[in-house]
Amino acid sequence: MLPPILRGTFRTDERARASYSEGAGIYRIVPEAVAVPADVADLQALVRWAAEGGHALVPRGAGSAMGGGNVGSGVVVDLTAMAPALLEIDPGARTARTSAGITHGELSLAASRHGLRLPPDPSSSRWVTLGGMLATNAAGARTVRYGPVRSWVLEAVAVTADGEVARLARGEASADTAALARFHQETAPAILAARAEVTRRFPRTTKNTSGYALDAWLASGDDLDLLIGSEGTLALVTEITWQLDPIPPARRSILVEAPSLEGLGVLIVALREEGPSALELLDRTFLDVVRQDPPPGITVPAAETVVLVEMEGTADAVDGGVARIESAVARLGGRAVVARTNEEAAAIWMLRHAASPILARLPETRRSMQLVEDGCVPLHRLGEYIRLLRDAAARHGLPIVLFGHAGDGHVHANLLPDVTAHGWEHEVASLYDEVSAGVLALGGTPAGEHGDGRLRAPLLEQLYGAEVTTLFRGVKEAFDPLTILNPGVILPARGAGPVSHLKVGRGAAPIPDDIAAALRTIERTGGYATPRLSLADP
């Protein structure tokens, strides 16, 4: 392989490749090379080299996405070090212009100095890059009120698979590039003609990041909406302009003990009516883990399910909402504990994060695996979905921990298999099939906020049917006719099984022991801001 001519870094040695073989999630796939472009011109040169030689490019930010879209057998493209590093706040317009490698935490700090914020707030804020957030249409705890990032993106600049620079903005005709010309000539008319089928097949959930956002494109007419959530399969984002929002003056927190799993959906609907800024779910399986080693001063509720509520706004509006929530919870047979001080509020939200350190201390024989970790169902089916997850895990002998975003009917599931047990891989694969079928039967989506990646790509046609999946392929072919951008992500690669290339087990790809240990430390500690080449060159 003749390397591209770059000002940045291009490496094919074993240690560099091993350092990028894992991200968050379940996979270990050793790439053929690693590229760290210096700037946009470098990235354009890399894309043209890949097109000429038929090399797959795997774009990557912090590597914290769960679905496997940040690993692959091609050339991993680390976009975190590209110059210039842009972070410009316009307080008057309430906007921010950033490069893709800036983190959500960096933007939050800069915006807060002007009393502003980007409301979607993933728990990975400290390290997740803004390019990665756009690529997955990321969400977080406050999505129940503010939505995912889609509605907060005003403009994006990206390098297409042809090596051209495209600017896509809200309410404006897109730049005249070859990719967009192909899309509007070949694929857009077919999507418009199939509007009724698209409407019928897209899941009726409050969140969905599976497939390409044909529904959003039909609603807005903005090509920007196709780029958002496309996981680096259509173009490589380099710059983003964001809409910001004022930080609310008042905030209150409430811990709600649900009366039963069966009544959970009714409770959530009642809580949503008050416009909460967050509505978080802690299942009994989660509480049982925390009960093993609770943080000092924290009492773990003895409940089937707990919902954590945050209210934001003016002081009067928040107080009124809290009072109505207390009344609604009592009427439905639950119990509400309102935080009266900042310390009490901190304790409520400390419970939400209390399981992570315990799971990080698991012995190497038992690993936390994010396999069915992103299902989202209609609100009234939430209790059924939790029951499905619990029962499936019990049948397959796999401990499970459930939590998530109750206000969106969205559940994260961590499996805890004993990786020394005979047949554990078979049980994990069987559970994947069973739960995936279950979430579709409930009218849900397997990808609430983390995208399809490689993990959920095989479910695409089951969710959308053949006609809409054909439209997805048309979008991909128009933007990336040579299939060099993240092949196997969103649209599945032929013969690729979702539960393969695992980072643990007998089939895990061999990598140097010290790099494997360093990647495990990153996973345990959330150290995704660590430059991966620093692992190759200690």
Flag the least confident range among 119-123, 275-279, 516-520.
119-123
Can you tell me the distance from the alpha carbon of 98 to that of 239, in angstroms, rounded to the nearest whole number?
6
Tell me: pLDDT of 519 over 90: yes
Can you tell me the distance from the alpha carbon of 116 to that of 242, in angstroms, rounded to the nearest whole number?
12
Strand partners, 75: 33, 57
- Percentage with pLDDT > 70 across the chain: 100
Could you confirm whether domain 250-359 is CATH 3.60.20.10? no
Please write the tens of the pLDDT for every residue from 340-351: 999 999 999 999
Can you tell me the distance from the alpha carbon of 211 to that of 468, in angstroms, rounded to the nearest whole number?
9
Can you tell me the distance from the alpha carbon of 521 to that of 528, in angstroms, rounded to the nearest whole number?
10
* Terminal Cα-to-Cα distance of the chain (whole angstroms): 26
Q: What pLDDT, on a 0 to 100 scale, did the predictor assign at position 213?
A: 98
Give the pLDDT band (50/70/90) at residue 124. confident
Helix (H, G, I), strand (E, B) or coil at 419: coil
Average pLDDT estimate for 245-266: 95
Three-state SS annotation for 167-193? EEECCCCCCCCHHHHHHHHHHHHHHHH
Amino acid at the residue 392: A
Same fold, 87-246 and 367-477: no
**Residue indicated by tokens 């048309």:** 474
Mean of per-residue pLDDT scores for the chain: 95
User: In the chain, what's the furthest Cα-to-Cα distance?
Assistant: 70
Find, among 88, 40, 84, 80, the residue nearest to 242 by Cα: 88
DSSP letter for each residue of 303-347: SSEEEEEEEEESHHHHHHHHHHHHHHHHHTT-EEEE--SHHHHHH
Give the pLDDT band (50/70/90) at residue 298. confident
Residues 482, 483, 487: CA angle, nearest 5 degrees: 165
Q: What pLDDT, on a 0 to 100 scale, did the predictor assign at position 88?
A: 98
- The fold for domain 87-246 equals 3.30.465
Q: What pLDDT, on a 0 to 100 scale, did the predictor assign at position 510?
A: 97
Find, among 139, 153, 160, the residue nearest to 220 by Cα: 153
Give the pLDDT band (50/70/90) at residue 356. confident
Please write the tens of the pLDDT for every residue from 400-411: 999 999 999 999
Find, among 516, 507, 492, 506, the residue nearest to 72 by Cα: 492
Specify the higher pLDDT residue, 130 or 294: 130
User: From residue 309, how far is each of 133, 266, 321, 494 by CA, in Å?
Assistant: 24, 15, 11, 44
Find, among 205, 80, 60, the residue nearest to 136 by Cα: 60
Region for residue 232 given its phi and psi (left: phi exceeds 0; alpha: psi -120 to 50; beta: otherwise): left
Q: What pLDDT, on a 0 to 100 scale, did the predictor assign at position 364?
A: 85
- Percentage with pLDDT > 90 across the chain: 89
Residue pair 503/22 in contact (Cβ under 8 Å)? The answer is: yes
What distance lies between CA 90 and its chain's CA centroid? 27
Two tokens at 467? 């006609």
Can you tell me the distance from the alpha carbon of 495 to that of 493, in angstroms, rounded to the nearest whole number?
6
In words, the CATH class of domain 367-477 is: alpha beta
Amino acid at the residue 8: G
The architecture (CATH level 2) of 9-82+498-528 comes to: 2-Layer Sandwich (3.30)
Q: What pLDDT, on a 0 to 100 scale, did the predictor assign at position 373?
A: 93
Q: What pLDDT, on a 0 to 100 scale, did the predictor assign at position 299?
A: 87
Residue pair 442/389 in contact (Cβ under 8 Å)? The answer is: no
**Residue indicated by tokens 């201390």:** 361
Please write the tens of the pLDDT for every residue from 270-291: 999 999 999 999 999 999 999 9
Q: Is 418 exposed, middle or buried (0-12, 13-18, 19+ CB in 10 A)?
A: middle
User: Domain limits of the chain?
Assistant: 9-82+498-528, 87-246, 250-359, 367-477
Tell me: pLDDT of 495 over 90: no
Q: What pLDDT, on a 0 to 100 scale, did the predictor assign at position 538?
A: 75
Please write the tens of the pLDDT for every residue from 2-32: 899 999 999 999 999 999 999 999 999 999 9
Buried b (16+ CB within 10 A) or exposed e, 20-55: bbbbbbbbbbbbebbbbbebbebbbbbbbbbbeeeb
Residue pair 287/300 in contact (Cβ under 8 Å)? The answer is: yes
What distance lies between CA 490 and its chain's CA centroid? 13
Q: What pLDDT, on a 0 to 100 scale, did the predictor assign at position 363?
A: 87
Average pLDDT estimate for 500-526: 94
Q: In 10 A of CB 353, how many CB atoms?
A: 12
Tell me: pLDDT of 175 over 80: no
Residues 414, 418, 420: CA angle, nearest 5 degrees: 145
The model's pTM is: 0.96
Can you tell me the distance from the alpha carbon of 472 to that of 491, in angstroms, rounded to the nearest whole number?
8
Nearby residues of 158 by Cβ (< 8 Å), 6 or more positions away: 165, 166, 168, 227, 235, 236, 237, 238
Query: At how many degrees (to 10) do helices 264-272 and 382-395 cross?
Result: 140
Tell me: pLDDT of 62 over 80: yes
Can you tell me the distance from the alpha carbon of 97 to that of 88, in angstroms, rounded to the nearest whole number?
5
Q: Is 171 exposed, middle or buried (0-12, 13-18, 19+ CB in 10 A)?
A: exposed
Please write the tens of the pLDDT for every residue from 425-470: 999 999 999 999 999 999 999 999 999 999 999 999 999 999 999 9
**Residue indicated by tokens 């934001």:** 312
